[in-house]
Amino acid sequence: MSTWRAIPPPRFWQRWLPERLHGPVRGLFQLALAGMVIIAGVAFFYFLLAMRYDLTEVSRLPADPVYLDRRGKELPSPAGGGRKPVKRSEVPEFLVQALQAREDARFYSHCGVDLRGLGRAMLRNLKDREFTQGASTLSMQLARNTFDIRAKSLHRKFLEIALTLRIEANFSKDEILTHYLNRIYFGAGAHGIEQAAQTYFGKTTRDLKDGECALIVGIIRGPHLFSPLRHLEAALEQRNQTLARMRAMGFINEARQATLSNQSLKLTSDAQRENQPSYALQAIRRELNLILDERDIRLGGLRVNTTLDAAWQDRLDTELTRAVAALEQEKSWLHPTHAAYQTGSEPRYVQYAAVTTETRSGAILALIGGRDYQHSRFDRTRSSRDLGSAFEPFVAAAAAERGKLVLPGKPVQTGRQIGAAEVERIAKRCGLAGPFLLNTEDLFRGSVAATPMEMSVGLATLGNQGKRPQPYFIRDIRDADGKTLYTASPNLSSALSPNAALDASSVLRRQAGTRCFTGATGSERDAWTLRLGPGGSTAIWIGFDEPTVIAREARLKSLLDEFVERLGND
């Protein structure tokens, strides 16, 4: 039987190539086929992975943070403080153009992934041997911010691309743009374009002027670095870069660019920006904004565990209100200038401020910045007032630190042993920034100003064996699933020797189970109580916003002594 078979004719591509290249070409073809199969497999894997994500999250605004006190009690949230979404019709066209120019020039033409930009980024990453470029479109940024996939890796990039393609298939370009603007972080605690407009300019998105639109868009790449509330010059530079890109793309001409680049900004004041329900939440929110910016935390539904002791804060506020109200009712005790309490249509009344710092750690247990937050949002715990006799503990601390005698009730004699310059130096180490009004013996009598916050920290330094704590309001931050995103670490610095701190505490008298010091300035315009309790160091100031005589010094001291008795232990 014959086994002969005809040799098949060469394929068409073999006729055009020399025989020595047939093998390599066949190998390359097989390799390309295998590569296509692998790519298809990877694409299918990430398609299935992306299908697990709920796209309704894209249009759902993240929940506002929940604040809890140290015992887990939920603290009041701002009334109407939720994020307000804007509609596409409310977004100025200039803002859309600025966003295109700065973030995604081909937004309306690409499929969600800018292949040209992605190719350039890949080449740059290969050159740098790390992920320095991402070529993220607005759609990709929306996917990243919605589903928190910000880790720099190939896996993250492939998942981000798959989710982006799903988003593009399910939403129109205008819907993607609107969801993007409603979700991203603009710094200073502003999530979404509406909060950004209100935070920076005190107006709605639809009312933003062209220059304001350019500045807000310039913030996006660095919410912490480019916030005009923290770094105005950097923010203006970003605005001008955005305008330059708009001119390059033909959205504006050179004359318009020059006009907008030279415009001044009218930013909102601190009082206009605050919408918290209390002075304490106002301070907590300031600290939270810094943490969110520095650690790039942008998730919704955060649970913020604070250092506040809500029960102690309420008790402190209640007793202070009672004490001051009683003072105002005792006409016989009031100074003749009491008639100045009413000027024009604006009432002037006695104010107070109080801070309690956990002595051993610096955690803020209570903060009261004034008598009525709804009437005045000015936080008096950060306002310097004259100390008068309340400065004596720090004169004692300076003397004790230098090995001199502490003479309770005799601050001038105590201070003379070391001099005013040394007293000032030690007081600053304890946390008092001043201003120190006189470099004479009058300093020993209290010619120095300090804030209630500084006095609370200084008192804690005396009660903590000379270690000065750094005050803080937030213990930890967790996401909606309970994962810890941030934990505070108490920060202590050595200010005094333990023996000096103990000796300085001797000027505090024992009362109601605590060590206290009550006093007033010689002008009777400021009254202070320093209270070193079992766990907390409390500084309380009473007076008028515009320095005015409150009452006779003897009555002020008796009032504060009565207050300490009612307050009892913390």
C-alpha to C-alpha distance for 38 and 169, rounded to whole angstroms: 24
Chain mean position to CA 251: 35
pLDDT in tens, 433-489: 988 877 889 999 999 999 999 999 999 999 999 999 999 999 999 988 899 999 999
Q: Are 141 and 148 in contact (CB under 8 A)?
A: no
What amino acid occupies position 458?
G
Q: Specify whether 36 is located in the same domain as 91.
A: no
- Residue 367 sits in a domain of what CATH number? 3.40.710.10
Read off the tokens for 257. Answer: 């660019």
Q: Specify whether 113 is located in the same domain as 212.
A: yes
Give me the pLDDT at residue 338, please.
Answer: 46
Q: Give the end of a domain, one of 221, 250, 274.
A: 274
Give me the pLDDT at residue 63, please.
Answer: 81
Question: Is 481 domain-assigned?
Answer: no
3-class secondary structure for 355-387? Answer: EEEECCCCEEEEEECCCCCCCCCCCHHHCCEEC
**Lowest-pLDDT range of 14-23, 36-45, 352-361, 497-506:** 14-23
Give me the pLDDT at residue 345, please.
Answer: 40
Question: Is 395 domain-assigned?
Answer: yes
Q: Give the end of a domain, one of 274, 301, 326.
A: 274
Taking residues 20-33, report their average pLDDT: 66
Give residue for tokens 């005698």: 405
Taking residues 35-54, report their average pLDDT: 77
Q: Specify whether 355 is located in the same domain as 238.
A: no
3-class secondary structure for 251-311? Answer: CCCHHHHHHHHCCCCCCCCHHHHCCCCCHHHHHHHHHHHHHHHHHCCCCCCCEEEECCCHH
What amino acid occupies position 136?
S
CA-wise closest residue to 380 among 416, 354, 341, 348? 354
Question: Is 391 domain-assigned?
Answer: yes
Burial of 558 (0-12, 13-18, 19+ CB in 10 A): middle
Question: Is 287 domain-assigned?
Answer: no
Read off the tokens for 60. Answer: 């759902």
Q: Specify whether 433 is located in the same domain as 365.
A: yes
Q: Specify whether 132 is located in the same domain as 196.
A: yes
> What is the maximum alpha-carbon separation in the chain?
137
Query: What is the sign of the dihedral through the CA atoms of 94, 95, 96 and 101?
Result: positive
Q: Specify whether 403 is located in the same domain as 335.
A: yes
Beta strand 351-358 pairing with 364-368: antiparallel
Q: Specify whether 468 is located in the same domain as 539.
A: yes
How many other β-carbons are positioned within 10 Å of the β-carbon of residue 273?
20
Give me the pLDDT at residue 12, please.
Answer: 59
Burial of 109 (0-12, 13-18, 19+ CB in 10 A): exposed
Q: Specify whether 38 is located in the same domain as 102.
A: no
Q: Is the pLDDT assigned to residue 284 strictly greater than 80?
A: yes
3-class secondary structure for 204-230? Answer: CHHHCCHHHHHHHHHHCCCCCCCCCCC
**Where do runs of H (alpha helix) occur along 67-132?**
93-103, 115-128
Give me the pLDDT at residue 347, please.
Answer: 53
Q: Specify whether 121 is located in the same domain as 268.
A: yes
Give residue for tokens 């919704």: 300
CA-wise closest residue to 462 among 415, 511, 516? 516
Q: Specify whether 212 is located in the same domain as 352.
A: no
Write the CA distances from 418 to 166, 459, 462, 494, integer angstroms: 74, 21, 19, 21
The 3-state DSSP composition of the chain as helix, strand, coil percent (nearest 5) reads 50, 15, 40
Give me the pLDDT at residue 22, please.
Answer: 60
C-alpha to C-alpha distance for 272 and 10, rounded to whole angstroms: 83
Report which of residues 20 and 461 the model is more confident about.
461
Write the CA distances from 553 to 26, 385, 419, 537, integer angstroms: 102, 16, 28, 24
Q: Is the pLDDT assigned to residue 246 strictly greater than 90?
A: yes
Give me the pLDDT at residue 13, please.
Answer: 56
Domain that holds residue 28: 21-50
Question: Is 153 domain-assigned?
Answer: yes
Overall pTM > 0.95: no
Per-residue confidence band for 500, with pLDDT thresholds at 50, 70 and 90: very high
Q: Is the pLDDT assigned to residue 339 strictly greater than 60?
A: no
Task: Give the up-direction half-sphere exposure of residue 294: CA atoms within 13 A in the CB hemisphere.
Answer: 8
Close Cβ partners of 359 (under 8 Å, ≥ 6 residues apart): 460, 463, 464, 469, 532, 535, 536, 537
Question: Is 521 domain-assigned?
Answer: yes
Give residue for tokens 């042993």: 417
Q: Is the pLDDT assigned to residue 324 strictly greater than 50?
A: yes
C-alpha to C-alpha distance for 20 and 24, rounded to whole angstroms: 8
CA-wise closest residue to 486 among 344, 307, 304? 304
Q: Give the end of a domain, one of 274, 298, 331.
A: 274
Task: Give the up-direction half-sphere exposure of residue 43: CA atoms within 13 A in the CB hemisphere.
Answer: 8
What whole-number percentage of the chain has pLDDT above 70? Answer: 85
Mean of the per-residue pLDDT values of the chain? 86
Q: Is the pLDDT assigned to residue 205 strictly greater than 50?
A: yes
Question: Is 402 domain-assigned?
Answer: yes
Element (H, E) at 510: strand 509-511
Q: Is the pLDDT assigned to residue 326 strictly greater than 70?
A: yes
C-alpha to C-alpha distance for 257 and 252, rounded to whole angstroms: 7
- Residue 189 sits in a domain of what CATH number? 1.10.3810.10
Q: Specify whether 383 is located in the same domain as 253.
A: no
Q: Are 422 and 439 in contact (CB under 8 A)?
A: no
C-alpha to C-alpha distance for 308 and 179, rounded to whole angstroms: 35
Query: What is the sign of the dihedral through the CA atoms of 290, 293, 294 and 300?
Result: positive
What amino acid occupies position 543?
G
Give me the pLDDT at residue 340, please.
Answer: 44
Q: Specify whether 220 is located in the same domain as 328.
A: no
Look at the chain and report how many structural domains it folds into. 3
Q: Is the pLDDT assigned to residue 9 strictly greater than 70?
A: no
Write the CA distances from 417 to 123, 282, 396, 398, integer angstroms: 72, 43, 11, 10
Question: Is 513 domain-assigned?
Answer: yes
